[in-house]
Every structure is written in structure tokens, then in C-alpha cells.
Amino acid sequence: MRAALTGAAVQELFLTERAATRHPDLVASAGSRLCMITERAAAKLSETASPQGIVAVCATLGRSAQEALQGAVRLVAVLAGVSDPGNAGTVIRVADAAGASAVLFAGETVDPHNGKCVRASTGSLFHLALGLESDPLRAVAACREAGLQVLAADGTTGRDLFDVADSGALAAPTAWLFGSEAHGLAPALLATCDGAVAIPLHGRAQSLNLATAAAVCLYASARAHRQPAPRPIT
């Protein structure tokens, strides 16, 4: 449903009678793309326990990293080797909320079109650019070519996030690089970044999950990008 409401390239729209009654606007806008289906068929197509009775077939959204970074970009999330679709979809949602321009999927990463990833994004994958790059090093290079500094989120080697924020470094256009929860980022990939940043843990928790860590980092940048310029001393 979110795809249809956001103007995505919907190729076919499947609705049950109940869903069509609830959403006459979708029926009116779908035209020849509309196909009525049974509740049973909707359950099979939706891959969820409680289907809404609406299934859209859309054009794929992935493009090259260079294409995803076109224009004036200030904030980007890069997922390197992230295999969990729920985490990946939530990062897309967080990146959208924080005002990021793009999310890059680099290396052996889950397909952003995975059903669970799409659902976890709650429609945000239709709001920003999605870049697909088989080599994480090329993804980092594309970010640099777009004028972004590349900061790796790494709890082991990173500098305290709040110290980095206080230094003013996050005011620069930034690509945040996130690895998988199980394996983190490879040393060779870390070495290509402009710096590593760690989120301080003040309680007894050993770590944060990927999506939570991404939210903290992306919002730290979003805040820095929106800080008013300091007034001159008079």
C-alpha cells in the first residue's frame, strides 16, 4: 500500500474485495493495473500472518552506488555485509527519518527487495535512493567521490561518538559505514575510512544492535547538520 501512496513505479496491484472497499482511491488510481484476488491468494502473496489484502508489484529500486549518490548528498548509510533483513529495513527507515539521501548495500548484503526488509522499512525505501555495490571498497570510493567523509561505526577501535560530535567533525557531509552484528567490519575496510567511531555504553549492556547503533550515529550527524552557525563574538 505504501508503494502505491508514494508514487512508486507500481506495475500491478492486487486487492481483495474487502481491501478495495476500504481503499477506493487505490482502485480509482490503479486502472488496468488492478487485479481482484481472494483472501486466500492475498495470504499466499503477502508472506505475512495478517495480510492487509493489498499486494503491489513494483519496479526494482536498486541502482549503482554512483547513481544513488547523485546531487547534493550530506548524509548516507552504507551497509557492508549485513545479512539480517529486519535490521537492514529498519536502517532504511532510520536513515529516511534522519534526512539521509541514500542507503548503500555493499558486499554480501541482504537484498533490499527482500520481503521482510521491505516491511521493516515501512515504506521508507520508496523515499530515498538505494545503491547496490558488490565491492564495499568501491562503495567507500563512491562516497568519497561524492564529497563525503566516511566514518565507520566500530565499538572496538572507534573514538567516542560524543567526543567526535563535540569536535565539530560531524558537521561535514558524512557516509556512515555499518557492518554485521556478528562479524563487524573487516580490518581492510576499516583502514579505508576517515575514522572509526564508537557509541559509548554507560550501562551494563555489552552492545547495541545494528539498527539502534545506526539510529544513534545518523541522528548525531543530522543534529550537527542542523546546528545554527556560531555567532561572531562582538
pLDDT top residue among 180 and 161: 161
- In a shared domain, residues 104 and 25: no
Beta strand 54-58 with 10-15 is: antiparallel
More confident residue, 40 or 5: 40
Residue 180 placed within a domain? yes
Mean pLDDT, residues 174-182 taken together: 93
CA gap 183, 27 in Å, rounded: 46
**218, 94 in Cβ contact below 8 A?**
yes
| pLDDT average, residue stretch 202-206 | 93
What's the mean pLDDT in 44-62?
A: 73
In a shared domain, residues 85 and 162: yes
User: What domain range is 189 assigned to?
Assistant: 62-225
| 56 pLDDT higher than 90 | no
pLDDT tier for residue 21 given thresholds of 50, 70 and 90: confident
54 and 131, same domain (yes or no) = no
Q: Quick check: 1 pLDDT over 50?
A: no
Mean pLDDT, all residues of the chain: 88
Give the pLDDT confidence score for residue 46 in this predicted structure.
Answer: 73
131 has a pLDDT exceeding 60: yes
- Domain shared by 77 and 50, yes or no: no
Statement to judge: residues 16 and 110 lie in one domain: no
Summarize the confidence of residues 168-183 as an average pLDDT: 94
List the single range of 1-15, 20-34, 40-54, 196-210 with lowest mean pLDDT: 1-15
Give domain status of residue 234, yes or no.
no
Question: Picking from 18-27, 53-62, 141-150, 168-177, which range would have the lowest pLDDT averaged per residue?
Answer: 53-62
**86 and 130 housed in the same domain:** yes
**Nearest alpha carbon to residue 121 among 86, 70, 151:** 86
More confident residue, 95 or 59: 95
Would you state the cell numbers that stand for residue 220, as one nine-digit string? 548525531
**What's the 3-state SS for 165-195?**
HHCCHHHCCEEEEEEECCCECCHHHHHCCCE
Q: Are residues 70 and 25 in the same domain?
A: no
Query: Do residue 87 and residue 176 come from a single domain?
Result: yes
Q: Is residue 124 situated within a structural domain?
A: yes
- pLDDT of res. 5: 46
pTM score, whole prediction: 0.81
- Asked whether residue 231 carries a pLDDT value surpassing 70, the answer given is no
Count of structural domains, the chain: 2
- Shared-domain flag, residues 40 and 69: no
Q: Is residue 233 part of a domain?
A: no
CB neighbour list of residue 145: distance below 8 Å, 6 or more residues apart: 66, 69
Residues 109 and 144 in one domain: yes
**Mean of pLDDT values over 154-175:** 95
